[in-house]
Amino acid sequence: MTEAPPLLLAVFAGAFGALIGSFLNVCIHRLPRGGSIVWPSSACPHCSRELSWYENIPVVSYLFLRAKCRTCKGAISIRYPFVEALTSVMFVLAWWYYGPGPLLASRLIFGCLLIVLFAIDLEHQLLPNAITLPGIAIGFAFSFFAEPGWIASLLGLLAGGGILYLIAVTYYWIRHEEGLGMGDPKMLAMIGAFLGWRLTLVTLMLASLTGSVVGLGLMAAGKGTMKYALPFGCFLAAGAAIAAGAGPPLLDWYLGLF
């Protein structure tokens, strides 16, 4: 951990993060719809009018436009400023926590992939291969220069993908219906490649735990059965984020219980 950052650098990291967040919003909107993420430029999803530069400023434009398109008055999703603010905060915290180096780059790319997967899974119950498969390759490539090292990374991607693949296949074999999509094993393989096998197990434990709690909560509130609970990819993303930030002390504490 490095010293607290000078204010100017923190502001720069935050602004850069917000711009990246704005790009993540484009990915979240276009990837499930099969669109290109580099072309055309941003447009209103309701009236398709191209946005001017001042309608594209992260967070600020949303507040300034009062969550509505300037011409058609169509509602702009709260997801846009939320993703931009979250990415911005992530850049500031990660920069402060890891300091400059390959681990910072690895963790920032990982965080961006998790944000995109979370948002797409929440809205479409889908974890696109276009994110998870390159994610596995990027995570493994980084492991040659940063934590967790390539052996732990390889074990992580095999264990993460393997465990969820077996669960998915077993569930299908018993119930003859899909309980877990095939995107989930690929996502946990990606998490394994970035974090290594130990933190992948922490991620799976956290995701299963929070998934069960939220699922039971929804059932108790009469908001649907277990089957229609939130998509598992969202819990994997949240679990991985916690594991990446607080995993090692969490793991020590857990192993200390035995």
* Interaction of residue 45 with Zn ion, rule CB under 5 A: no
47 touches Zn ion (CB under 5 A)? yes
To Zn ion, the closest distance from the beta carbon of 76 in angstroms equals 9
35-66 burial: b if 16+ Cβ within 10 Å, else e:
eeeeeeebebeeeeeeeeeebeebbebbeeee
Does 133 participate in binding Zn ion (rule CB under 5 A)?
Answer: no
Q: Does 245 bind Zn ion (CB under 5 A)?
A: no
CA proximity to 235, closest of 248, 218, 222, 249: 218
Binding to Zn ion by CB under 5 A, coded x per residue (else -) over 69-98, reads: x--x-x------------------------
Q: How far apart are CA 253 and CA 121, in angstroms?
A: 31
Number of residues that bind Zn ion (CB under 5 A): 6
* Residue 43 near Zn ion by CB under 5 A: no
Question: Residue 61 in 3-state DSSP?
Answer: helix
Asked if 63 touches Zn ion (CB under 5 A), the answer is no
Which of the ranges 21-29, 68-76, 116-124, 152-160 carries the binding residues for Zn ion, by CB under 5 A? Answer: 68-76
* Residues of span 106-125 touching Zn ion by CB under 5 A: none
CB nearer Zn ion, residue 76 or residue 190: 76
Measured between its terminal Cα atoms, the distance across the chain in Å is 29
d(CA 53, CA 112): 23
Minimum gap (Å) between residue 49 Cβ and Zn ion = 5
CA distance 134 to 138: 6
Question: Which residues form the interface with Zn ion (CB under 5 A)?
Answer: 44, 46-47, 69, 72, 74
